[in-house]
Amino acid sequence: MSSLNNKIVDLVPASFSDDDTLCLEKGPSNAVSSPKIVISEPIVEKKPFLYSLRTHKHFITITILLALFSDMVTYGIIIPIMPSILAHMGGDSSKTGILVAVYAAGIMSASPIFGVLSDKMASRRKPMIIGLSGLFVATIIFMFAQVYWLLIIARFFQGVSGGAVWTLGLALMTDSFGADEMGIQMGKALIGHTMGMLGGPPIGGLLHDAFGPKAPFYFCLAFSALVIVCLTLLIEVRGDEALEIRKYEAELRARDLANGIEVKEVVHTSLWQLVTTPRMIAAVTVTTLEAFDLSSLEPTLPYYLKARFGLTEGQVGLVFIAFTMPTIVSPLAGWVSDRYGAKILCCCAVICAACFMLVLSIENKPLWGIVLTLVGIGLSTSSFIAPILGEISAVVRRTGDKAAYARAFAIFNMAFSFGMLIGPIMAGYIYSGLGFKWNCITTACILFAFVPLLFFWMGDRKAKMEDVAMYEREEEERKRILAEIAIIKEEKRTAGEA
């Protein structure tokens, strides 16, 4: 072992910082005995082209932001133009609601599959590229469809692709950021989600009026292609580390036993175990409520605005901009949850959203009053999701199963999809039978009903501090394991030279 001293360690993982590398000299603090490695000269390692940019946390966040935007803008862009698409098919608000819901069914069916596969592969990027390629093809089919059943098929496969984007994109974010900054980084990425979901309708309406009925779909195709390029460039450092750790798992276990370090048994957590955790139930509830709140307006608000004010598709799209204006609060909501926990923020946001829905139900409001109310709804719902993603990561971390993040975000996707599934269908039938007023009142009552559950089961400030401490311990252990792998590689190289 002494022959390792004063040798160059050329196989230290690329993700190590200078401080991480220097800690190899000291050895892990919790080991009984650890070999000493002194790096006598700089490590020269050939890295891929533009490595620093392609692994930078801002590039990762922007890529996921664009991916979520591409997925959700494809979902929302048809909302204001759906009446004209379905006009020659005998469509009404209920058929529009079914098309919105079919997309959610696609996400719900695909998310658990992609979650399990991703956790086994330890790679998020490649399945995401496959999913976005499927989104590209499904959008082309939808653009040229002439019969209703083909619209349903295309919409379903758009949802399947969305399941890949959401499940894998959020898991990639969890791989890349710590618990102390998870909320704010997720908040930044979720700007893409909110702007796509709520900005899709104004974009669709404006492009339809300005350039024709196929223009909105060309926009979606262009964005899908852009995201595929970004994902192709992105380098998954943590994914490579996970594969490396799996490769040396047996040797690491043997070294730990020899050094007197406690070897923990590998924990496997099922989807059922995750979803029955009270904190996860609360997170899933908030997720469903956000999707339900927004999607209940999407098939009905365009018909209401056209019937009452005679607005065109482009004008309806402009009204939907009121939803997108408050998306800037998502990073702020994430920052607040990083410091104070998700409970207070989410409870207040759900209550505010319910109150604004009641205001929206008031009849004979002028158009500007409707727009201001939509701004309030958008502000409230933009504060829902960023804290929830941190909650889901915390639930997984407490199980001890480090390979369950994609499965957990698959549950998030299924919950969001469930809200998108029931919201449009219920709203479409309530609007057809009772009108827009009772659609809004029903949604508000459902939001109010779940506030007590969130108050008792969501994580507070104390829970958040515990999550951060747990993450820091995980990071120390990860660095120790990577240092041991570097030592194993050096031992093998030295043995080969002898």
How far apart CA 215 and CA 205 sit, in angstroms, is 10
pLDDT of residue 15: 45
pLDDT of residue 21: 41
Q: Are 407 and 174 in contact (CB under 8 A)?
A: no
Write the DSSP symbol of residue 19: H
How far apart CA 359 and CA 77 sit, in angstroms, is 26
Q: How far is CA 9 from CA 36, 244, 480, in A?
A: 12, 16, 15
Residues contacting residue 47 through CB under 8 Å, at least 6 positions apart: 14
Which tokens is 443 given? 């949604």
| 482: enclosing H helix or E strand | helix 461-497
What value does the CA radius of gyration of the chain take, rounded to a whole number of Å?
Answer: 25
- Averaged pLDDT, groups of 10, the chain, 498 residues long: 41 45 41 42 59 82 90 80 73 69 81 77 80 89 85 88 85 76 77 77 81 88 91 77 70 74 68 84 89 81 85 77 71 80 88 92 87 87 79 81 75 83 83 86 92 88 82 79 80 72
Mean pLDDT over the full length of the chain: 78
How far apart CA 320 and CA 308 sit, in angstroms, is 16
Helix (H, G, I), strand (E, B) or coil at 233: helix
Amino acid symbol at 83: P
* Nearest Cα residue to 100 out of 391, 268, 303, 392: 303
Q: How far is CA 490 from CA 16, 20, 36, 354, 493, in A?
A: 16, 17, 12, 61, 5
Q: How far is CA 130 from CA 115, 160, 168, 212, 475, in A?
A: 14, 11, 11, 30, 31
How far apart CA 196 and CA 194 sit, in angstroms, is 5
Global pTM value: 0.70
Amino acid symbol at 28: P
How far apart CA 392 and CA 27 sit, in angstroms, is 33
Q: Are 188 and 331 in contact (CB under 8 A)?
A: yes
pLDDT of residue 265: 66
pLDDT of residue 71: 87
Helix (H, G, I), strand (E, B) or coil at 458: coil
Say how many C-beta atoms besides its own lie within 10 A of residue 257's C-beta: 11
pLDDT of residue 11: 41
How far apart CA 443 and CA 382 sit, in angstroms, is 17
Write the DSSP symbol of residue 277: S
How far apart CA 130 and CA 114 sit, in angstroms, is 11
Q: Are 421 and 108 in contact (CB under 8 A)?
A: yes
